[in-house]
Amino acid sequence: MQLTGPEILRRMQEKENPDIIIRPFDERCLGSNSYDLHLGDTLKVYKQAIPKGMKPALPYKGKPDAHKMEDWFESDAAHMQFLHCPEAFDIRNPQYLIDPTNPTHHQTITLKIPETGLILSPTIGYLGSTIEYTETRNLFPYIDGKSSIGRNFILNHHTAGRGDDGFCGEWTLEIRVLHPTVVYPYMRIGQIYYEQFVGKRKPYDKNKTSHYNGQFGPTPAAPVPVDKFLKDLVQKQK
């Protein structure tokens, strides 16, 4: 059962141990059954996935015709190399693969989004974060894109839109765009919903295996485990 906007507000206003904390909070961002979330001014990109000589993003100059294809390159030489050998800059090239189990593949470059905007590339994935810090207890929180964000073909999360009872922190966003797209700090990037659940609690902030509780800013992936113990279980079931 999903909470309405007024119920979200009521839960926030409980004097002792509120189920929902959102900071900063402004009632103008409260919707019928969600609260609007905003993009912070910092992005991170994985070094491994950026072709050498290419820029991961561009400061927006205020109008589209002020930008050209060569703006994506660090130098004229890099642009010429792209023209002569585009596969060297193609993210489908295996040299840019990411191994989810390898911590070195999660090393990042930090980008600041100026107030005048930053152009994102359709060829790169970006880690962003919400301005809002949230705490949720006794409820199941999850985030999704706003309709206007979707209609601009901005994806603000891939699979990590689901939170946990007990999660405390800012929300990391996995951002992709279909076209070169300008983003701004404080732009509305998504919304958070809350649902009630049934069963005994297993709070995220009390779980020793939780990776991301208390996170601030765009947080790179923890190494994805390969649970080899399942191999024995699978063999036993055959």
What are the backbone dihedrals phi and psi of residue 54, each rounded to the nearest 5 degrees, phi first? -105, 150
Three-state secondary structure call for residue 55: coil
- CA distance linking residue 188 with residue 161, whole number of Å: 16
Q: How many CB atoms lie within 10 A of CB 5?
A: 15
Annotation marks residue 174 as catalytic: yes
Length of the chain: 238
Please provide the distance, in angstroms rounded to a whole number, between the alpha carbons at the two ends of the chain.
39
Pairing assessment for the beta strands 168-177 and 126-136 based on DSSP bridges:
antiparallel
- Tokens 């923890």, located at residue: 222
Contacts (Cβ under 8 Å, ≥6 apart) of 180? 67, 119, 120, 121, 122
Which one of 7, 74, 87, 174 is the catalytic residue? 174
Cα–Cα distance measured from residue 46 to residue 49, given in angstroms and rounded to the nearest whole number? 6
Distance CA(226)–CA(72), nearest Å, equals 37
The residues annotated with a catalytic role in the active site are 174
